[in-house]
Amino acid sequence: MTAQAPAQTDGGIRLNGLIKTFRGPHGPIHAVRGIDVSIAAGETAALLGPNGAGKSTTIDMMLGLSKPDGGTVTVFGRPPREAVDAGLIGAMLQSGALIRDVSVRELVTMMASLYPDPMDVDEALEVTGLKAMASQRTQKLSGGETQRARFALAIVSNPELLVLDEPTVAMDVEGRREFWSIMRAFAARGRTVLFATHYLEEADANADRAILMAHGRVVADGPTTEIKARVGRRTLRATLEDVDPSTLACLPGVASAERHGDAVILSCTDSDQAIRALLERYPAARDIEITGGSLEEAFLELTGEPDDEVSELVAP
């Protein structure tokens, strides 16, 4: 496998001028309006955007589940269906449950049998933490366990490209943490991973690169650190007299500060750190308010700008 891997994954993933329009009851819905992205083999990329941005539509086209109205997709140099048939792709779709009347192990074993070079079933059950419930019937699993079983189905194929569409939705905090650590371990084997999320934190913590989508377009694309700096700011307002804004701007997690009368307004890259530091050093600070930081707001700003500026934001 490792010997043939380079040739098999030549070309990475390329989306060129991808367009998808649905017919809606009130006219056409432009779900994807021309996307150009290429992802190199071995990269871990997050497709980040609010609900309705077009992430799932883009993923469906990458997987050959949906035909583009314009543009092309290639996965490792092949059309998606060929890559699927060659067993190169494992995916966890956004919506879906499991079929009933089979045990977790039977389900994962069956899926593994469809692929040319699958992972060991025990290993897949082990890493996804399903070992203890391997003989359970699928209909008896909890929401979080179901998601893990769906994840096991995606990785047991031992794919070159792993696609995850909002995989952590039904999971609790602990479940999410485990999930992402498994994903990162898998990515560390040199595999290509693309996941969709609407949480900036998830993208930041688990991907090298974030591709921001809004209204069917890519509005920014770059290393997660850069993206975070661009959209992840929150505004912290407090009443605090007699402190110079330039001193406040040096607090950890604060990017810039200004004063309006008795109030100070801090623009934060990390509002948690900023508020701790602020209260520790200036216990007199009060009427504290933290706003913004939601991806939706950041996207509204990004996409609310005139078209020429939006296109300027699109990374080369």
Ligand X SMILES: Nc1ncnc2c1ncn2[C@@H]1O[C@H](COP(=O)(O)OP(=O)(O)O)[C@@H](O)[C@H]1O
In the complex, the residues that contact Mg ion under the rule CB under 5 A are 55-56, 94
d(CA 155, CA 162): 7
d(CA 288, CA 305): 30
Q: DSSP states of 139-150 as a string?
A: GG--HHHHHHHH
* Residue ranges that bind ligand X, judged by CB under 6 A: 22, 24, 29, 31, 49, 51-57
Residue closer to another protein by CB (options 102, 263) is 102
d(CA 144, CA 150): 10
Instruction: Confirm or reject binding of residue 3 to another protein (CB under 8 A).
Output: no
d(CA 2, CA 8): 10
d(CA 217, CA 30): 10
Q: Which of 224, 275, 222 is nearest to 251 (CA)?
A: 275
Instruction: Confirm or reject binding of residue 129 to another protein (CB under 8 A).
Output: no
Position 49, amino acid: G
Instruction: Confirm or reject binding of residue 19 to another protein (CB under 8 A).
Output: no
d(CA 203, CA 168): 12
Q: Smallest distance from the beta carbon of 55 to another protein, in angstroms? A: 15
Binding mask 54-73 for another protein (x = CB under 8 A): ------x--xxxxx------
Q: Report whether 81 contacts 72 (CB < 8 A).
A: no
Which of another protein, ligand X, Mg ion, none binds 177 (CB below 5-8 Å, type-dependent)?
none
Instruction: Confirm or reject binding of residue 224 to another protein (CB under 8 A).
Output: no
Residue closer to another protein by CB (options 105, 234) is 105
Q: What are phi and psi of 19, to 5 degrees?
A: -135, 140
Give the residue, chosen from 14, 34, 78, 106, that forms a contact with another protein under the rule CB under 8 A.
Answer: 106
Q: Smallest distance from the beta carbon of 172 to another protein, in angstroms? A: 22
Binding mask 272-301 for another protein (x = CB under 8 A): ------------------------------
By CB under 8 A, name the binding residues for another protein.
Answer: 22, 60, 63-67, 84-87, 89, 91, 93, 95-102, 106, 110-111, 113-116, 153, 157
